[in-house]
Amino acid sequence: MAFLIVRNDSILFEKYFDNYSPSSQIPSFSVAKSFVSALIGIAVGEKSIQSIDQHVVDYLPELKDNPGFDKIRIRDLLNMRSGIEFSEAYGSPFAPMAKYYYGTNLKKYVSRLKTKSLPDQHYEYQSVNALLLTLILEKATGKPASQYFGRENLETRWNGV
């Protein structure tokens, strides 16, 4: 793991622990959710996404056949109020959650999702909401999320601010 202090575009302090180094690759898990949400906001500002009140199926039409998905809005995913049936159980490496973190065919897993309630009824922390937001972002921008988030793109966007 690492601890960094960054100001503007400079690293002021950098320390690595437990045999990690700057080249170590580890899953970001929940850290990514904040970045995905920010990228959705940027995409709305750039008009790649019209509104967070658009429905998920506007960008992911393959989910139209999954009952209830036509009612879920981007806003519901951002607020963790989607009503999707999904377990965040981490108790076993064989739990369904492990497929989403370590699997290689996320679109296949997403196609099997179901809803358990109407959206915006209650809050439930679910990583799958961020995954769906990432797929929406990629469809809306025509770029992989990693490329849309890339330094060149961010510098181009923020130089005029």
| Domains of the chain as residue ranges with CATH | 28-158 (3.40.710.10)
Of the pLDDT bands very low, low, confident and very high (cuts 50, 70, 90), residue 18 is very high
Amino acid at 26: I
Helices of type H across the chain: 31-45, 56-59, 74-78, 96-102, 106-111, 127-141, 145-149, 151-158
Whether pLDDT at 152 is above 80: no
Give strand pairing partners of 55.
Answer: 73
pLDDT at 133: 96
Whether pLDDT at 83 is above 90: yes
What span, in angstroms and rounded, lies between the C-alpha atoms of 13 and 10? Answer: 9
Lowest mean pLDDT among 28-37, 97-106, 117-126: 97-106
